[in-house]
Amino acid sequence: MSRVLAALRSWTTSVPLVAAVLLAAVWGRHPGVFLAVVIAVALAGAVLAAVHHAEVVAHRVGEPFGSLVLAVAVTVIEVGLIVTLMVSGGPETASLARDTVFAAAMITMNGILGLCLIVGAIRTGLAVFNAEGTGAAIATVATLATMCLVLPTFTTSRPGPEFSSAQLTFAAVVSLLLYGLFVVTQTVRHRDFFLPVETGEPQPDAHAAPPSARKARASLALLLVALIGVVGLAKVESKSIEDGLSAIGLPHSFVGVVIALLVLLPETIAAVRAAMRNQIQISLNLALGSAMASIGLTIPTIAVASIWLDGPLLLGLGPTQMVLLALTVVVSVLTVVPGRATRLQGGVHVVLLAAFVFLAINP
């Protein structure tokens, strides 16, 4: 009994449980100002708790499995949030999947990646990583993004930026196959391409004993509870977010950007903390793995959900978005090819994220 009480006193245990209880209490309600603030605080706490438990699980299973666990867990919850909002949101949410997935790709490939390169380069002068694994990840993300987000703008079977049923089915199947092929490559065939590069720098946790299997299982369960809390509370808060965006004159499409920012907070913090430990490859695994999972798992799920969703499913990007995506892919390739990067490359990626956010606010 004393052990149970001691565990509950730990904020990393209690916060996910509090978030889950709060979610059950406020689900289906439109919160007022005070309750919205309480939800925001619980949301932030659940994000931090999720990062802690993800790192415990990652330490237990090792790399690159640890990065994969967090990327897939966050993406599965993100997909659930998108589908829930689309079911309850009506015709205004026809482009929500596109806006959220594209925002996630830009945030991960530019924001998380750029910030981690800057942190790593400041710490050691040069951020070093495996070009083989990171290059394969960028190639996969670029292919998935083009197949699912660019081609719908140019196909002619349906008017507007959307796939026909056959095209959507093809894109969904290809996305799953490509994502599965990458996971096998990352975890089985060429796992060494995705492990941190030995630079001679001391690793703070290199010799730390991994947590016990029991503690890892508990952290995995609490990670899922925390992520459900993050996504559920973000859903409850979404109406307040929409009202706030409308009040300050921001376009409705910016809701997708806000959702992506909220959902990707755990991965952003985890990636930056890895960069601070000079584990740049882990940071890049998290960033690009999230972008890949966001597209490769969301589009197939939305394709299935479209069977009962009313209205069109708009997936095609506009001209401005396609230019930003193309520039991001080109810059990412040039960043990855040498296998090392300076603060300049990180700064370029952060500027691209700033351009995306600015143009999302002022299209």
Q: Are strands 340-341 and 127-128 parallel, antiparallel or unpaired?
A: antiparallel
Q: CA–CA distance from 347 to each of 116, 131, 285, 331 (Å)? A: 10, 19, 19, 11
**pLDDT band, residue 91 (cuts 50/70/90):** low
Q: Mapped to the 3 state alphabet, what secondary structure does the chain carry?
A: CHHHHHHHHCHHHHHHHHHHHHHHHHCCCCCCHHHHHHHHHHHHHHHHHHHHHHHHHHHHHCCCHHHHHHHHHHHHHHHHHHHHHHHHHHHHHCCHHHHHHHHHHHHHHHHHHHHHHHHHHHHHCCEECCHHHHHHHHHHHHHHHHHHHHHHHHCCCCCCCCCCHHHHHHHHHHHHHHHHHHHHHHHHHCHHHHCCCCCCCCCCCCCCCCCCHHHHHHHHHHHHHHHHHHHHHHHHHHHHHHHHHHHCCCCCCHHHHHHHHHHCHHHHHHHHHHHHCCCHHHHHHHHHHHHHHHHHHHHHHHHHHCCCCCCCCCCCCCHHHHHHHHHHHHHHHHHHCCCEECHHHHHHHHHHHHHHHHHHHCC
Tell me the whole-structure pTM to 2 decimals.
0.80
Residue 5, pLDDT score? 41
Domains of the chain: 2-361 (1.20.1420.30)
Residue 203, pLDDT score? 55
The amino acid at residue 110 is: N
Residue 4, pLDDT score? 46
**pLDDT band, residue 87 (cuts 50/70/90):** low
pLDDT tens for 201-221 read 555 555 556 777 788 888 888
Query: Does the structure show a pLDDT above 70 at 90?
Result: no
355 vs 158: which has the higher pLDDT: 355
Here the tokens at position 160 are 């507007």
Tell me which residue of 109, 138, 171 sits closest to 316, measured CA to CA: 171
pLDDT tens for 18-66 read 888 888 888 777 777 788 888 888 887 887 787 778 778 877 776 667 6
